[in-house]
Amino acid sequence: MNDTLQIFKQKIYEEELSKTETYWIDQIEFKVEESDLIISVNSEFVKSSIEKKVFDKILEVVKNISGLNDCIFELDPTKKTSSLKSQETVPSENKTFLIADVDEGPNYDISVFDDLLIGSSNNLAVTAAKNVVQNPGTRFNPLFIHGQPGVGKTHLLKKMEESSGSSYYIDSESFLESYVSGIKNQSIDLFKNKIRSVDILLIDDIQFFMGKKGVSEELFHTINYFLNNNKAVVLVSDQKPQNLLGFPERLISRILNGLVTDIEQPDKKMFRDFLLKVNHQNENTLLTDSNIEELIGVEVSSFRDINGIVNSLIINKQTGVSNSEYINGLIKSSSNNNLVALTPEYLFDYVSNIHQVDKKLIASKNRSYEVGLARHLLVALLRKHTDLSLSQIGIYLGNRSHSTVLSYLNKAKSSPVVLKEVNSFDNKLNMVEAS
């Protein structure tokens, strides 16, 4: 078996390996047991990276070596990372294959960001994210990223999680559920220990903590812990920190003391680059050059819009539908930059301005007629024009319960005044889209 292992080591390094592939090969200790090649690694992160980046080449070499049947991973956390590369570039038949210890490589893989489309709308956010991954807790801490739904905030967080060997991604709903469950079951320390055990904590959609005093306080203490222990926190929201109603002032202060950046809607260059990339992946048969130039004239507000268009183009091709006709339809229906982004923040501002009621009052316990009317209108518009659940709407309204918001919605549906104002809003929206 030693001879078989020797042959494998020689053959794997005779492969045309990229710099990245060579690095990950060097993180493995290979063994042969009962005709199986054992791939021994010291962490799930290394295992996952090898599976994605070099496992196919390892398997191909195994198939071509007599005496080897299969590849099996072995996880050994106590094992020190070592290089298996020979001190010679390619060992000859008459030379002994030498194993040399090397320093453990970085606990991150920055190459996972390579497939991101980067432009003026997200360059700062992506650059900051890379810095956090490479140097957790040393720069841009905490990092706060905000932007409209669909612009790629969550996707960027997932890339950070994928790139780092010591990171943890959690969305606001899971964070809240774990926190509440920990309090009820007297196991809050388990939750705290779990999220504080990593070097980079990634929390998505923190706007849903608005009005949640307990979890907001826990978030404040969590951020402090990470700052005091040279660990990194990355927060994502659809709103600016200053607009997070009900958050403790000291929490907002902590956030503003780090780096606050946004991701804007993709620009036309990013749209074009994405179309060119997809067209290339489809052997340049999906779109003509003129199709691409026509498409980038269509207004898009998010990558969700772009993905929707691209998916339609691919389906059209597969089903024989003319993409030219589809593109003409898109151009015809495009509002030429007049579409309104119906975010919760926009609707909140709209209702506040129409009724001349401060947003804080709408989210308060004030029961005056005018405030109540504004509150019912806001619930109706949020329910109709966003994807927010009743519970999520309740968070925006000062931590109202699901049943309370449902009561507001029923009152709105039975109120001639509210229904008239909803119709008025819809008419204004239609006029904008038709202009």
DSSP letter string, 339-403:
-----HHHHHHHHHHHHT--HHHHTSS---HHHHHHHHHHHHHHHHHS---HHHHHHHTTS--HH
What is the structure's pLDDT at 399? 84
Count CA atoms closer than 13 A to 114's CA, side-chain side: 5
Which of 159, 153, 131, 433 shows the shortest CA–CA distance to 265? Answer: 153
- Return the pLDDT at 134: 92
pLDDT value at residue 375: 94
Q: Which of 64, 52, 89 is CA-nearest to residue 8? A: 64
pLDDT for the residue numbered 328: 80
Fold entry, domain 344-434: Chromosomal Replication Initiator Protein Dnaa; Chain: A; (1.10.1750)
Dist. CA 126–CA 247, nearest whole Å:
26
| Residue 200: Cβ-neighbour burial (10 angstroms; 0-12, 13-18, 19+) | buried
> What mean pLDDT is predicted for residues 223-228?
93
Residue type, 137: G
Q: Kindly state the average pLDDT of the residues 126-136.
A: 94
Q: Give me the pLDDT at residue 434, please.
A: 53
DSSP β-ladder status, 232-237 and 200-204: parallel
Amino acid, res. 322: S
Q: Which H or E element spans position 203? A: strand 200-204
Kindly state the tokens that stand for 35: 């005709």
pLDDT at residue 406 is higher than 90: yes
- pLDDT of residue 411 exceeding 80: yes
229 has a pLDDT exceeding 50: yes
**What pLDDT is stored for residue 20 in this prediction?**
63
CATH, domain range 127-262: 3.40.50.300
Q: What is the pLDDT of residues 340-358, one digit of tens each?
A: 567 787 888 889 888 888 8
Please give the pLDDT value at position 255. 93
What mean pLDDT, rounded, does the chain reach?
81
Least confident of 75-79, 219-223, 246-250: 75-79
Per-residue pLDDT of 314-348, as tens digits, reads: 887 877 777 887 888 777 766 444 445 677 878 88
> Residue 62 in contact with residue 37, Cβ under 8 Å?
yes
Is the pLDDT reported for residue 174 higher than 90? no
Q: What is the sign of the dihedral through the CA atoms of 283, 286, 290 and 292? A: negative
Buried b (16+ CB within 10 A) or exposed e, 266-292: beeebbbbbbeebbeeeeeebbeeebb
Residues 6+ apart with CB under 8 A from 410: none
Same fold, 2-75 and 127-262: no
Q: Please check the confidence at residue 300 and state whether its pLDDT lies above 60.
A: yes
Do you know the residue count of the chain? 435
Supply the pLDDT for residue 8. 80
Does 59 or 224 have the greater pLDDT score? 224
DSSP type of residue 104: P
Q: Are strands 29-33 and 36-41 parallel, antiparallel or unpaired?
A: antiparallel
Residue 202 in this model has a pLDDT that exceeds 90: yes
- The pLDDT score that the predictor gives to residue 45 is 67
Concatenated DSSP letters for 254-268? HHHTSEEEE-----H
SS3 percent helix, strand, coil of the chain, rounded to 5, is: 55, 10, 35
DSSP track, 156-198:
HHHHHHHHBSSEEEEEHHHHHHHHHHHHHTT-HHHHHHHHHSS
For the segment 189-205, the average pLDDT, to the nearest whole number, is 90
The pairing of beta strand 259-262 with beta strand 143-146: parallel
Q: Above 50 in pLDDT, residue 95?
A: no
Six token digits for residue 127: 């650059």
Helix (H) or strand (E) holding 423: helix 416-434
Q: Say which CATH topology domain 2-75 has.
A: GMP Synthetase; Chain A, domain 3 (3.30.300)
> What is the per-residue pLDDT for 149?
80
Residues 6+ apart with CB under 8 A from 394: 400, 401, 402, 404, 405
> What does the alpha-carbon distance between residue 362 and residue 352 come to, in Å, rounded to a whole number?
8
Average pLDDT over residues 242-246: 82
Domain parsing of the chain, residue ranges: 2-75, 127-262, 268-333, 344-434
358, 355, 360, 364: which is closest to 400 by C-alpha?
A: 364
- Regarding predicted confidence, which is higher, 124 or 53? 124
pLDDT value at 107 more than 60: yes
Asked whether the CA dihedral 174, 302, 264, 335 is positive or negative, the reply is: negative
The larger pLDDT score, comparing residue 280 to residue 49, is at 280
Helix (H) or strand (E) holding 232: strand 232-237
